[in-house]
Amino acid sequence: MHKTLRRAPVLLALSAALLTGTLPAHAADQAGNNWQTVLASPLRTDDDRKGDEHRKSAEFLTFAQVKPGMKVLDVSSGGGATAALLTAAVGSKGEVWAQNAKPNAKLDARLGQATLPNLHAVVADFNDPVPKGTPPLDLITINMSYHDIVNTPADRAALNKRLYDALKPGGHLVIIDNAARKGSGLTATKTLHRIDEDAVVDEVTKAGFKVDARSDYLRAPSDPREQPFFEMKGAPDDKFAIRFVKK
């Protein structure tokens, strides 16, 4: 069963900024993007912007090939940092669904009380995270959460097939996660909150996806991948980024 909450920032000015604003053409140019307008959007919080350097938010948008008007699902959205970034990037003609398996207080607080038609908080099981009635999607993102989904009772084969079916032909699934040692499979998902990149590729491609591209923008070769990423004490932690495509 899906529960969709349609809310937005309390200040009407924030709603107006998205509803009336448009992205400059250079912000959506896939060759050498300038995402400064998106990163500075009032839909994002100060904490979001503080995390941009570590998360490399501009590089994420470029790698995900985000464009104005896109229909996007952010799976396991948590407090909504990625969903807010995507909402700013797709503009007033796009839509973003922020899915969690249970209500998230931080996401609810972020969205506030005023109605904003193109940002939706969705409570749905991981076996079927796509809200009923959504149009064919251009993009699905799972940002630092696939390893967490492994630690739930969810049927990931069903999840990945549902995501495949929800995308338009040519649509993309972008997965970014904390890298475990090559060959470790799923053994580090609970202990280190990391996952083997090859294990993700193996699971996702079984649903019909093809690997479209990989990026090293979050790679940290110095990381021995022996600790949880949150215990690195400021040292760079290794992450992988994969873009899958529905042929």
- How far is 211 from 174, CA to CA, in rounded Å? 10
Provide the angle, in degrees to the nearest 10, between the axes of the packed helices 197-205 and 156-166: 60
The CA radius of gyration of the chain, in Å to the nearest whole number, is 17
pLDDT of residue 112: 81
Phi, psi of 12 (to 5 degrees): -60, -25
The Cβ of residue 95 has, within 10 Å, a number of other Cβ atoms equal to: 21
- Residue from 77, 75, 39, 78 nearest 56 by CA: 39
Strand ranges in the chain using DSSP code E only, listed in sequence order? 3-5, 71-75, 95-100, 119-123, 137-143, 167-178, 210-215, 239-245
Contacts of residue 53, defined as CB under 8 A and 6 or more positions apart, other chains included, come to: none
- How far is 61 from 174, CA to CA, in rounded Å? 10
Q: What is the pLDDT along the chain (247 residues), one digit of tens a residue?
A: 555 544 443 333 334 443 433 333 333 343 346 899 999 998 899 999 999 999 999 999 999 999 999 999 999 999 999 999 999 999 999 999 999 999 999 999 888 855 567 899 999 999 999 999 999 999 999 999 999 999 999 999 999 999 999 999 999 999 999 999 999 999 999 999 999 999 999 999 999 999 999 999 999 999 999 999 899 988 999 999 999 999 9
pLDDT of residue 13: 37
End-to-end CA distance of the chain: 29
- How far is 127 from 35, CA to CA, in rounded Å? 34
pTM, full prediction: 0.87
